[in-house]
Structure 1
Amino acid sequence: MTASPKSRWRDLEAPDIEELEELAAEAFAALPASFRALCQGLVIKVEDFPTDEVLDELGAETPFDLLGLFHGIGRAQSSAVSETGQMPNMVFLYRRPILDYWAENEETLGDVVTHVLVHEIGHHFGLSDDDMEAIEDRAN
């Protein structure tokens, strides 16, 4: 007997920060090795929302406007920057905006997280939208 949709969803809760970090780590591990190599030592951090400073810097109107952010030094710039005191490259995923986007679209949560990861890393390293789409396709 198959559970009805009502009972299947009745006891589910939105993933917390730690659970979304686990999902992001799984999504990152599923990406092609050549793409992951762009970000050796990448740190993936999940926060509920971007900081006010980030929102102001990017001109976002609401905290829900930003799903993720790459912070670091791209491969092209890495040789021009001293490594002393350099922080690791980081991708911030913003849990509440991601969950809001997921609720309004017909994608799985894993697909949304993969998309945000690929695009935050890819744009920073100068990949085209076609390149990023191909990477996402290979990850699924």
Structure 2
Amino acid sequence: MSRAPLDHPLSAQRAPTLADIEALADAAYAALPQRFTRLCEGLVIRVEDFPDDETLDAMDCETEFDLLGLFRGRGLTHGAHLAETGEQPNMIWLYRRPIIDYWADSEDTLETIVTHVLVHEIGHHFGLTDADMEEIERRAE
């Protein structure tokens, strides 16, 4: 099992904070190839504890732990570059508590999980569907 060492800032001594998850997301984003990040100009990435009730309802979630991340906006293939005045920027949310809950039952590191969720949501920014990304992952294996 791949866990942070006890002297690591993300040790079992305390739950990772919003700032910890944000730092992991920032590091994951910084490690992405520039050819991808160049296409993410204006994309806002936020970390929240949980999705709001409206989001949970819209996504047909059974519990507040069902959603690890979310992309909202107009994907690049749907004209994100043609945003209208007053339109919200494309946004990605990472949900701390569901991510931590998932991590607790996983053998992956928290860094790996945060990176996976972030990249998945950026895939939606690029206009990919969940099925598209599952196919890409399947072929990569």
TM-score, length-normalised on structure 1? 0.80
Q: Which amino acid in the other structure matches residue 42 of structure 2? A: G
> Residue 8 of structure 1: which of 2, 6, 22 is its match?
6
CA contact (8 A) 2:28 2:115 kept: yes
Query: How far 1:41 sits from its partner (Å)?
Result: 1.9
Larger mean CA deviation between 15-24 and 78-87 belongs to 78-87
- 1:68 alignment partner in structure 2: 69
Structure 2 contact 77–127 (Cα < 8 Å) conserved: no
> In the TM superposition, what is the alpha-carbon distance from 1:79 to its structure 2 partner?
6.0
Residue 115 (structure 1) aligns with: 116
Deviation at 1:83, TM superposition (A): 2.8
Aligned residue identity for 1:50: P
Identity %: 55
**For structure 2, which runs of at least 5 residues remain unmatched after alignment?**
none
SS at match of 1:91: strand
Q: Which residue of 1 aligns with 2:127?
A: 126
Q: 1:114 to 1:132 in 2, by over 3 A?
A: farther
Q: 1:60 to 1:40 in 2, by over 3 A?
A: same
CA contact (8 A) 2:74 2:80 kept: no
The answer for the alignment partner of 2:38 in structure 1 is 37
Per mean C-alpha deviation after superposition, the further-off stretch among 50-59 and 31-40 is 31-40
Shift of 1:82: 4.3
Q: Structure 1 residues 102, 86: closer, same or farther in 2, change over 3 A?
A: same
1:32, distance to aligned residue in structure 2 (A): 1.4
CA offsets per residue over residues 72-110 of structure 1, 9 Å max, x none? Answer: 111122268543112221110000000000010110101
8 Å contact 2:43–2:89 — kept in the other structure?
yes
Q: 1:60 to 1:82 in 2, by over 3 A?
A: same
Letter in 2 for 1:70: F
Contact 1:20 1:46 in 2 (8 A): yes
User: Which is further off, 83-92 or 42-51?
Assistant: 83-92
Bigger shift: residues 16-25 or 70-79: 70-79
| 2:18–2:48 Cα contact (<8 Å) kept | yes
Of Structure 1 and Structure 2, the greater helix share is in: 1
Which sections of structure 1, spanning at least 5 residues, go unmatched?
Answer: 136-140
